Amino acid sequence: MAADIRTVSAREKGSLRITGIGAIVTWNSGSGSMEILRDRDILIGADKILGIGRFEDKDAELSFDAGGRILTAGLIDPHTHPVFAETREQEFEMRIRGLSYLEIAAAGGGIRNSVRKLRQMSEDELFERSLKRVRRFVDYGSTTIEAKSGYGLSVEDELKSLRVIRRLNEELELDLVPTFMGAHEIPDEYRDQRDAYVDLVCSEMIPAVAEQGLAEYCDVFAEPSVFLRDETEKIFRAAQDRGLKLRVHADEFESIGVTELAVSMGASSADHLLAVTDSGIEALKRGSTTATLLPGTAFFLGHSHYAPARRLWDEGISVALASDFNPGSSMTQNLQLIMTLACTQMKLTPMEALQAVTVNAARALDRSHLIGSVEPGMQADLLLWDVDDIRQIAYWYGMNHVYAVFKKGKLIHRA
């Protein structure tokens, strides 16, 4: 067992000891499964977990009494669009009155609406507005989020969005993993010359993003009404040539074989997958790409169809869950609610849903060696939950059960 009792020498005196933990619920990389540990403390040294076991006062400089609460790894949200200028509640109401997401997009709403607003806003204003929103992820237990650009869609405005993500990462305790998503939509001025826009993404945006070190990943919205399979492949090749890793919006409305493409190119994650085909599932089984599912989006758009999470899970594919936080199709930052939707609409168990927003989400961001489980050597990103049973996080729904958030060994939020 990796999360075993470990003694600590005086040389390794901890900075913090968490005692009085009701249960630790975590992935165990030794056994390859989730487990529940009782009667253990956690010893933290600087930003890492030093040990899990029984420790005394003298083993650490400070102690924190968990009061019998349940402890897990910090939640990880591997798919968000948090840098935008304005919310879009008017489109929310249009959908309630009967227009579809794609109809609103075709009429110039949707992503293109957000693009027009973001282009008019200064970088400082965009930063201030995004900051107010993004810091709330921590209140709901997220300690790392992926963050995409994609409401700029010009060289200048995509770089502006990514610089805002970098500033948010510097300003907040929350870690943001930056993704360039210039291929989120075709902007207004390129509607009749999509090839020229794909060229702009490949030969100007990607080189500039890579040279300035502004993103770790490149993402494409692959869909018949947005970017086609060959366009996606071209953008992916340009991104890989410049050292960016890949993730993709695939099979959300209609499959065009992009899940298969993403797996064959070694993408870290294929996201949405409501319309994933048998051949897409076969590809995911053979490859190492995580399937990141976003049930909040189907819920918020009022759809009754969800991604086939149960089947993907039972086929042995690594399934993660994310909020897809964005002003058009999923306006939530609460992964606890996403866990509930995964349970009720996609038939994952509460424990599987927890695994999907911790260790599997870490895998979707290529960080499972660092975050996503409570084991010695891992970063001390930890949550204490005000629940009696771990299943209550998903069961007692629409609530915020987070009691305390530790990031890199430091208490950064308390209810």
CA distance 239 to 299: 32
At its nearest, how many Å lie between Zn ion and the CB of residue 324?
A: 5
Choice between 45 and 328, CB closer to Zn ion? 328
At its nearest, how many Å lie between Zn ion and the CB of residue 249?
A: 5
Which residues fall within 8 angstroms of residue 202, CB to CB, at 6 or more apart?
Answer: 234, 235, 238
Query: Which tokens belong to 205?
Result: 């945006």
Site for Zn ion in 135-194 (CB under 5 A): none
Choice between 159 and 222, CB closer to Zn ion? 222
CA distance 220 to 249: 6
DSSP structure class, residue 83: -
Choice between 157 and 324, CB closer to Zn ion? 324
Choice between 77 and 324, CB closer to Zn ion? 324
At its nearest, how many Å lie between Zn ion and the CB of residue 272?
A: 7
At its nearest, how many Å lie between Zn ion and the CB of residue 6?
A: 40
CB-nearest residue to Zn ion: 324
184-203 exposure pattern, b = at least 16 Cβ within 10 A, e = fewer: bbbbeebeeeeeebbebbbe
At its nearest, how many Å lie between Zn ion and the CB of residue 389?
A: 32
Choice between 330 and 340, CB closer to Zn ion? 330
Looking at the DSSP bridge assignments, the partners of residue 245 are: 217
CA distance 148 to 327: 13
Choice between 219 and 352, CB closer to Zn ion? 219
At its nearest, how many Å lie between Zn ion and the CB of residue 79?
A: 6
State the distance between the two ends of the chain, measured CA to CA, in whole angstroms: 33
Query: Which tokens belong to 88?
Result: 């879009």
CA distance 105 to 362: 32
Site for Zn ion in 313-332 (CB under 5 A): 324
How many residues of this chain interact with Zn ion, rule: CB under 5 A?
A: 1
Enumerate binding residues for Zn ion (CB under 5 A): 324
